[in-house]
Amino acid sequence: MARHLITSAIPYINGIKHLGNLVGSQLPADLYARYMRARGHEVLFLCATDEHGTPAELAAAKAGKPVAEYCADMHAVQARIADGFGLSFDHFGRSSSPQNHALTQHFAARLAEAGLIREVAEKQVYSHADKRFLPDRYIEGTCPNCGYDKARGDQCENCTKQLDPTDLIDARSAISGSTDLEVRETKHLYLRQSELKGELDAWIDSKRDWPILTTSIAKKWLHDGDGLQDRGITRDLDWGIPVRKGADPWPGMEGKVFYVWFDAPIEYIACAGEWAEATGQDDAAWERWWRTDKGAEDVRYTQFMGKDNVPFHTLSFPATLIGSGEPWKMVDHLKSFNYLNYDGGQFSTSQGRGIFMDQALGLLPADYWRWWLLSNAPESSDSEFTWDSFQNTVNKDLADVLGNFVSRITKFCRSKFGEAVPDGGSYGADEAALIAELTDRVARYSEMMDAMEVRKSARELRAIWACGNEYLQRVAPWSTFKTDPDQAAAQTRLGLNLAHLFGTLSAPFVPSASQRILESMRVEMTSWPDDVEAFLAQLPAGHSFDVPEVLFAKVTDDAREEWKARFSGAAPA
């Protein structure tokens, strides 16, 4: 049994996320966590809400709430929606936790002792209209590199070039739109990550199995232009983790907080501490996952995130861990994803364009969305959600293949043999060929899941389901029954065992449907079917079962058109 630490990028606190956010980190991380648990491995799957920074302050003000209250409320909302999608976090924490406060201040002290933090008198943008310094992300303008007119003051989303606010052309406040901006001098702390460039470069080079998307983004930040730059880790804000050296004050930094992108990744570690506390364990419980001197040397750590988060997780956070000089567990594999677009454009909260997580759950159960998103995951390139594709995938894969097979075999058995696995007959050439094909396919499916090839795994799983329908069509037990009831019994017995197999293999992708299949077969999730032939004999003659309700209803043309119009962002007529 191996030990797997799994984290997904932590979602920001301000609002409910759209389906692109879901498939870019949390959902594939859950797929992998569920699979590893099914294989019998020990898993700690962590996520949290990212709660600091200007967006939280502005969202709280808009909601008319104190920022701490707003964050607590939105954490509860996001946790409830995550549960609705079947995200099997071992803990869903908060970056505002006491554990993250303490750890962030601890890392800052260690980095300062190592000479990796410098104080910089810098000029920052002050908005007279907003009466505040504007953090980088709240200054917009035209990118000097590619000409994109909505580049932010820290990075251009279009070309991913790292920027300073003063680099922007025609800068304006992203809060008010005001161009009445002034550059004022203020003091901040910078992480001297450029001093660690060689170590970071060598570390990334050692990751031979990382996706090209991940390494190419990291290398671009390391080597393009002037190379890896030192990065500010403090801000002039009220809401956040106060700047301190551990428990000691930091002279000159009074009233400042740590930059959200410094403290947010540290929450991955702090979240394990929150988990230990919530489950009544001591520090040793979380340290065995995160400290290589306390047992984490045998942990396999995998991160999942969208491509926009890659630079911070391949450079800034590793620089924090390496620079501390302490034995922290470093990520072993970083699985990154491209973007999911919506029907010819982008998701837009302000325009009501696209479907968001709470809206999706209001339309259909989570498994419908999980299957489409994972089988169309934006791995090698951006992908696009369309209602036509969604309808086609749900109807053909879930309803016509998986749901249809389980319904056909259980209803046929009930009508001819009763609600128990029938006895009699023996397997012949058709059954031997099916078992051989499934043995190969299940092995490939497992290999692809091990490698985190999400779309390929989904295709192989669908092909496994299809094997069942093709077998039933080929042997036609309803016809065999007329001339050879014993042989029909053997075919039906194998079909019911196939339902058990499909329920087990499908659990990482469609956990609710899987549970319903297993419950109808009156079995619990036990072992992974590495030995397919043995697994297909686990339901013996006489074993009782139930005929389940319809697993997946088809999406009608009327529903598709109504949803397409509702979430188009178009103004009502």
User: Which residues does the annotation place in the binding site for ATP?
Assistant: 349
Domains 1-115+197-207+260-337 and 383-535 share a fold: no
Position 399 scores a pLDDT of: 98
* Amino acid, res. 509: F
Q: CA dist 259 to 21, 96, 569, Å?
A: 22, 13, 34
Classify residue 511 by burial, with Cβ atoms within 10 Å: 0-12, 13-18, 19+. Answer: buried
Position 8 scores a pLDDT of: 97
Task: For residue 568, give the H/E element and its range.
Answer: none
CATH number of the structural domain 1-115+197-207+260-337 = 3.40.50.620
Angle between helices 485-506 and 511-520 (to 10 degrees): 150
Fold annotation for 383-535: Isoleucyl-tRNA Synthetase; Domain 1 (1.10.730)
Domain boundaries, the chain: 1-115+197-207+260-337, 383-535
Beta bridge pairs of residue 152: 140
**How far, in Å, CA of 397 to CA of 399, rounded?**
6
CB atoms within 10 A of CB 525: 15
pTM: 0.92
Tell me the pLDDT of the chain (573 aa) as tens digits: 799 999 999 999 998 999 999 999 999 999 999 999 999 999 999 999 999 988 898 899 889 999 999 999 999 999 999 999 999 999 999 999 999 999 999 999 999 999 999 999 988 888 999 888 887 778 999 999 999 999 988 888 888 888 888 889 999 998 889 999 998 888 999 999 999 999 999 999 999 899 999 999 999 999 987 788 999 999 988 899 999 999 999 999 999 999 999 999 999 999 999 999 999 999 999 999 999 999 999 999 999 999 999 999 999 999 999 999 999 999 999 999 999 999 988 888 777 789 999 999 999 999 999 999 999 999 999 999 999 999 999 999 999 999 999 999 999 999 999 999 999 999 999 999 999 999 999 999 999 999 999 999 999 999 999 999 999 999 999 999 999 999 999 999 999 999 999 999 999 999 999 999 999 999 998 889 999 999 999 999 999 999 999 999 999 999 999 999 999 876 443
Task: For residue 223, give the H/E element and its range.
Answer: helix 212-223
User: Which residues does the annotation place in the binding site for Zn(2+)?
Assistant: 143, 146, 156, 159
Residue burial 123-140, b: 16+ Cβ < 10 Å; e: rest: ebbbbeebebbbbbbbbb
User: Which residues does the annotation place in the binding site?
Assistant: 143, 146, 156, 159, 349
**How far, in Å, CA of 265 to CA of 467, rounded?**
44
Closest CA to 178 of 124, 130, 237: 130
Listed in sequence order, the residues at least 6 apart from 357 whose beta carbon sits closer than 8 Å to its beta carbon are 16, 17, 18, 19, 21, 22, 81, 84, 85
Listed in sequence order, the residues at least 6 apart from 245 whose beta carbon sits closer than 8 Å to its beta carbon are 105, 108, 109, 112
90 HSE (CA, 13 A, CB side): 22
Closest CA to 102 of 277, 302, 225, 224: 277
Closest CA to 475 of 408, 542, 407: 408
Position 570 scores a pLDDT of: 63
